[in-house]
Structure 1
């Protein structure tokens, strides 16, 4: 242990000695009590427990060796400085000495390196904040916003700044960029100065409140996420906020959030929650301010995720206001809008499946297609365990709705699983059983390679007619299991977007200090294909409303790969494959002149082109020209859409974005199904299948 103690002292001394190299503007760093940020005995014991759990029980069965040590090093460095704007190349060179030592130190319960690297990050962050505050104090007007310089949009893979001078030059560029963005969003310079002064002051206050527990959680999560993105250490405080999910058990807005560099980003909306009901928020929106009731808006850029969540949560019935940068904004556009929500607990009955009927008159033939929206795979566990005969569940509700729709004489049924993030695995299995006679529904493979087959053992089918399953990028987990089973059995057409791709199973392991969420198994379809990473690919693909590079399993670093195992023994009695080519051709012919589909495809392409820009000019005139060009293209697309619909052309972009409105329209209780072009087209595809079946029957 003497050698380890020497290593600890040498590393901390080398890091703290770096402070002598800091320029004069870093004097404020003296108020940081870095010496107090040391690992506790509890944390050391917890780290040893976590190392053992990962080595013995994680699905991946990865050895903690030099190769994994290198991965941990890169993950931690990325976590501390994701945009490579705090550390210099010399800092990183100093850290490199420990790239292949982290495994040995973690095996010994030694956390010094993690704490030491974080201490250096705190110093650098404090430098940057002080530098920014000085620029604000000197007057932002002195920043050159007419230069020929440009800034790299994403510095994730950029070179580290060579030295202190290069670091200062980068910070000046970044602050100039912030001022430009706010200026182009319509803010006056005085208001920008006031806003940035508050923002940086708040960030410094929060930096000074860094606790040893924060450092421990970050470092251990670099270890955990070297195994996979869903394996996660949660401190005692954050264990109660599992997955930062403000949904069923706590009053909030009904949204799942995650950190996105300095921003807090919405991952998904909880069905029937305040956020979804408001039709004002969508996945990938960024929350930059939070206010209680009528209080002043608090700027939360740069805040820790758990602190933002605390601000958003509150008593049922109280109001919270959010300042939000919409996901549909052009890259670099920081214009925001305010959203007011009333906090409430999400009730099971609010998330229940519901039905509607779409009607068509095709020549002399009338068609009626039943639609069942399934927001989640729910089960009232309490009532179920108490033996209540009327307990609520997805399967029970869908069975009842199917019966009602058949009494109405529908010609086919669409099960709408868009935005359905999953839920009860038992319900996914039982819902599958409503549409097949009997058989396997999903395979679960554990870390030892043993495969468990879950199946529907109840004979009988609740509905035997034509069936389509709608999915999108936010259809995940249990939704993917059900959609995959329907596709493998040939029981339903799967229509929409490739799904989220989460095909792993996690379990919570209690520790002496906090908890570990550990990936223990993977889901596989009965065909033997994993749902992991690729998700379920629809038979007929619709244009995506969401950026798959930002949302989905494939967007997560170190996500487990897609693979296959031996298929289950099942009987695919109905095969739709022979119809899919004809159905796709009819669909493409029909939507070629469909204004909504063409608009969506063009907007997705435009957004993608804007987001792929590598550099942005630090010149206000050039930046304005880029913004105007984007808006002009948007206006032209919107007017083409309006012309096709027989509506009057616009002279300027409306405040409400049609693409955003299309996203908000999904799964809204008061939304007319006939106003949803994707749902209507799914109904038409189902009618095409009916007609092809009739032709085949007549030909036979």
Structure 2
């Protein structure tokens, strides 16, 4: 892949150089126009599946960019939209000649509407809300039309601000009632005082949002959003990194994780948690989950929280991150629609907590190992120093010394990582042979092989996956499935990301650039394929044993992303399935029978359906009575799923002996972290079933081997 990337860079540089000698196209002193020239050129020449800049592209970009600017239709009027509409089929023509008229017009109008909106929300929040009035608001404003006039837009702001103030009102009232209960002589604040205080909290929060985020952004920031909207039309994983964001990108790639220990992503107007870093404050709290939405953030020294709704991801992170030891309170919206405050103490995440870890468990006289792998990590500066394959190999050797008879490799929530690392890791379980195929546009496919005939583990192997297992995780699971080397247990399919990205520093493409830093572009340059020829793009890896989980009915995979590249296939590589005595088909059959009758899984599926129903509800009450009724109903309905957290397997997990020795000199809290992990494993129905399958494979191995000997 590195060779292909270097070839791409060389071709782009040569093409750019030739263009610059024959035309003035690539020497425009206007930085914005130069950036558009560079971006459109690179996309057309370097993207795996470049799309034509035509009227269809223009219309799609028009819609998606306005949605980025004003997703909840709180700023623009219908008249603005009509004015913009004349550009709907001409943005492509503008881009071809580096014309940024569309951006300039929308930017200037947006700045005007932001200033007007500030006056509007202050007018709204200057008047008391009547929480006794029986009214509702539809929070799915994407399907709404733009407001026709100021009165209509002000009413839209009123409804949204009233909805935002309701939780504040409830918090203050609840606090007053608790004070009264604790001290009967306490004189509670009046309803009017509580309403005013709640409204002031909303005003404080939205003022911060406007001052620190909307008004504090300069033209360059907004233009970067426009460029990102352009490149995102090509696929979900091609994105623009503005100069000021490259530092944060480099930090994320280096593995420096600090703050609350969670990876965040902006989806529409919301900041969602996409990953919890093992050992971090968010993970330790036991109160946060993937797909939780962070609505507000409050610092320990501030009275009012900051509303994150509508905020850019980089700006939101500034509020969430902070020095080690400081306190931050997050207002979280759960998938079931309920909200809660979670207070965390920020910390520096120990990098080794994001590495592979292993555990031993005894079941019916058999010893099995479990290896949890959060990602296919690697030290890009020194591959031999740190890489996931070497760590997993070391854990396997340790587990073998303790008598391991079967292995569970847990790739759930593993979003991927290094391609060479996954190729090397697959080689731990097969003699040699192809692992993955990679194709670039117009180039013959490349087959990445394991060439080391040594095998670290030739015994029973089960791999756990879910909808968040992506990229390198899918390569690993697919290869083991195609070789019939492992049984895959998990969701109906994995994430479905079958593309490869490389990051281009755009400044390297311009000779004698005097316009300033142009930033970088993460560009989809290749697709990878299973050794059987099929892509994992969109379809992911289908589990051998399909089990429901909380994401079963939620749109979370690649197939649910806009502009995702299509599924396709190429010729299969030449490979031979694993030669062993394990009866995979019988083990899969038995597992499916057990899973069909598992009460815990039935409850998990019911919960997943209920969560989907809660997500789909967009009509929210604006009266306090109905608001409380909705909360009470949601709490009551959710009680039937309390059993999910009380499930026990009666299995005891322990650290390998080498790790137990480290506990004696434990200064990092390693034992506490492992105890928590082991406790979660003992409540994990998926791990329990993986161990059942290992037992079945072990039994079938003995039977078939005896039969072979008798022959």
Q: Please give the range of the TM-score, normalised by the shorter of the 2 chains.
A: 0.7 to 0.9
1:567 maps to which residue? 572
- State the SS of the aligned residue for 2:455: coil
- State the SS of the aligned residue for 2:393: helix
Task: Give 1:177's match in structure 2, choosing from 163, 170, 192.
Answer: 163
- State the SS of the aligned residue for 1:281: coil
Residue 592, structure 1, aligned to residue 597, structure 2: yes
Q: Deviations over 1:574-597 (max 9, x none)?
A: 599974476345444366354x33
- State the SS of the aligned residue for 2:56: helix
* Number of residue pairs aligned between Structure 1 and Structure 2: 626
2:312 maps to which residue? 304
Q: Kindly tell me: are residues 372 and 58 of structure 1, through their superposed partners in 2, closer, same or farther at Cα, counting changes over 3 Å?
A: same
User: Mean alpha-carbon deviation: is it higher for 368-377 or for 183-192?
Assistant: 183-192
Q: Deviations over 1:124-163 (max 9, x none)?
A: 343333222212212223xx6533x432232223333344
2:202 maps to which residue? 196
Q: Distance in 1 between matches of 2:166 and 2:235?
A: 38
Q: Deviations over 1:365-385 (max 9, x none)?
A: x22221112222223444547
Task: Give 2:542's match in structure 1, choosing from 537, 549, 552.
Answer: 537
Q: Deviations over 1:480-519 (max 9, x none)?
A: 1111111111100011123222221111112241111111
Shift, 1:694, TM fit: 4.4
Q: Kindly tell me: are residues 381 and 84 of structure 1, through their superposed partners in 2, closer, same or farther at Cα, counting changes over 3 Å?
A: closer
Shift, 1:104, TM fit: 1.3
Q: Distance in 1 between matches of 2:628 and 2:29?
A: 52
2:22 maps to which residue? none
Task: Give 2:609's match in structure 1, choosing from 602, 605, 608.
Answer: 605
Residue 459, structure 1, aligned to residue 453, structure 2: yes
Q: Kindly tell me: are residues 247 and 155 of structure 1, through their superposed partners in 2, closer, same or farther at Cα, counting changes over 3 Å?
A: farther
- State the SS of the aligned residue for 2:318: helix
User: Mean alpha-carbon deviation: is it higher for 469-478 or for 279-288?
Assistant: 279-288
2:423 maps to which residue? 429
Shift, 1:465, TM fit: 0.9
Q: Kindly tell me: are residues 161 and 692 of structure 1, through their superposed partners in 2, closer, same or farther at Cα, counting changes over 3 Å?
A: farther
User: Mean alpha-carbon deviation: is it higher for 468-477 or for 47-56?
Assistant: 468-477
Q: Kindly tell me: are residues 454 and 401 of structure 1, through their superposed partners in 2, closer, same or farther at Cα, counting changes over 3 Å?
A: same
Task: Give 1:673's match in structure 2, choosing from 681, 685, 695.
Answer: 681
Q: Kindly tell me: are residues 138 and 84 of structure 1, through their superposed partners in 2, closer, same or farther at Cα, counting changes over 3 Å?
A: closer
1:168 maps to which residue? 154
Shift, 1:73, TM fit: 0.9
1:5 maps to which residue? none
Shift, 1:319, TM fit: 2.2
Residue 355, structure 1, aligned to residue 358, structure 2: yes
Pairs within 5 Å for 1:566-645? 566-574=571-579, 579-580=584-585, 583-589=588-594, 592-594=597-599, 596-638=600-642
Task: Give 2:264's match in structure 1, choosing from 244, 249, 257.
Answer: 257
1:368 maps to which residue? 367
Q: Deviations over 1:52-98 (max 9, x none)?
A: 10111111121212221111111111111212343333321221100
TM-score of the two chains, using structure 2 as the length reference: 0.81
Contact in 2 for aligned 1:418/1:667 (Cα 8 Å): no
Q: Point out where structure 2 has 5 or more consecutive residues left out of the alignment.
A: 1-27, 174-193, 508-517, 651-672
Residue 393, structure 1, aligned to residue 394, structure 2: no
1:343 maps to which residue? 347
Q: Point out where structure 1 has 5 or more consecutive residues left out of the alignment.
A: 1-38, 386-390, 647-664
- State the SS of the aligned residue for 2:536: coil
Contact in 1 for aligned 2:58/2:91 (Cα 8 Å): yes
Pairs within 5 Å for 1:248-287? 248-249=255-256, 251-287=258-294
Q: Kindly tell me: are residues 96 and 294 of structure 1, through their superposed partners in 2, closer, same or farther at Cα, counting changes over 3 Å?
A: closer
1:500 maps to which residue? 495
1:224 maps to which residue? 231
Contact in 1 for aligned 2:293/2:334 (Cα 8 Å): yes
Q: Kindly tell me: are residues 593 and 567 of structure 1, through their superposed partners in 2, closer, same or farther at Cα, counting changes over 3 Å?
A: closer
Task: Give 1:133's match in structure 2, choosing from 114, 122, 125.
Answer: 122
Q: Distance in 2 between matches of 1:163 and 1:125?
A: 15
Q: Note the aligned Cα RMSD (angstroms).
A: 3.1
Shift, 1:355, TM fit: 1.7
Q: Kindly tell me: are residues 345 and 689 of structure 1, through their superposed partners in 2, closer, same or farther at Cα, counting changes over 3 Å?
A: closer
2:68 maps to which residue? 79
Q: Kindly tell me: are residues 472 and 666 of structure 1, through their superposed partners in 2, closer, same or farther at Cα, counting changes over 3 Å?
A: farther
1:483 maps to which residue? 477
- State the SS of the aligned residue for 2:348: coil
Contact in 2 for aligned 1:59/1:446 (Cα 8 Å): yes
- State the SS of the aligned residue for 1:379: coil
- State the SS of the aligned residue for 1:395: helix
Shift, 1:186, TM fit: 6.2
TM-score of the two chains, using structure 1 as the length reference: 0.82
Q: Distance in 2 between matches of 1:588 and 1:694?
A: 22
Q: Distance in 1 between matches of 2:142 and 2:99?
A: 29
Q: Kindly tell me: are residues 88 and 450 of structure 1, through their superposed partners in 2, closer, same or farther at Cα, counting changes over 3 Å?
A: farther
1:115 maps to which residue? 104
Shift, 1:217, TM fit: 0.7
